[in-house]
């Protein structure tokens, strides 16, 4: 559990180009587990035009690690994105 809290703390606040969010998250995950392979899926918020929120789920391919859920706010120019919340499930 301590490891998951450390990962979440490192991921919240990531700010980067929108198309680099998954790369940045995977880099953090792999720092904590060098042997892990991760997949990331995403979906937009139902009110995306107003909220600019996108939800990401990172999960290990082997299924032996908890999933990581992230809430990412994208800028109006679709260039910058920031992870505003994250938690494990």
Structural domain total, the chain: 1
pTM score, whole prediction: 0.88
Task: Give the CA-trace dihedral at 84, 79, 29, 44, to 10 degrees.
Answer: 60
Say which CATH number the domain at 79 has. Answer: 3.30.70
Label residue 57 by pLDDT band (50, 70, 90).
Answer: very high
Per-residue pLDDT tens digits for 3-42: 788 899 999 999 999 999 999 998 998 888 756 688 899 9
Is residue 1 over pLDDT 80? no
Three-state SS for 48? helix
Sheet holding 53-60, edge to edge: 15-17, 80-88, 68-74, 53-60, 38-44
Range of the domain at 58: 2-88
Q: What is the mean pLDDT of residues 43-48?
A: 95
Question: By CB neighbour count within 10 A (0-12 exposed, 13-18 middle, 19+ buried), where does 83 fall?
Answer: buried
């Amino acid at each position: 559990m301590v490891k998951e809290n450390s990962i979440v703390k490192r991921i919240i606040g990531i700010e980067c180009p929108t198309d680099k969010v998954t790369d940045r998250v995977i880099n953090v995950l792999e720092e904590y587990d060098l042997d892990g392979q991760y997949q990331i899926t995403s979906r937009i918020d139902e009110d995306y035009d107003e909220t600019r929120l996108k939800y990401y789920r990172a999960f290990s391919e082997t299924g032996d690690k908890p999933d990581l859920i992230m809430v990412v706010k994208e800028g109006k120019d679709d260039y910058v994105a920031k992870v505003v919340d994250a938690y494990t499930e």
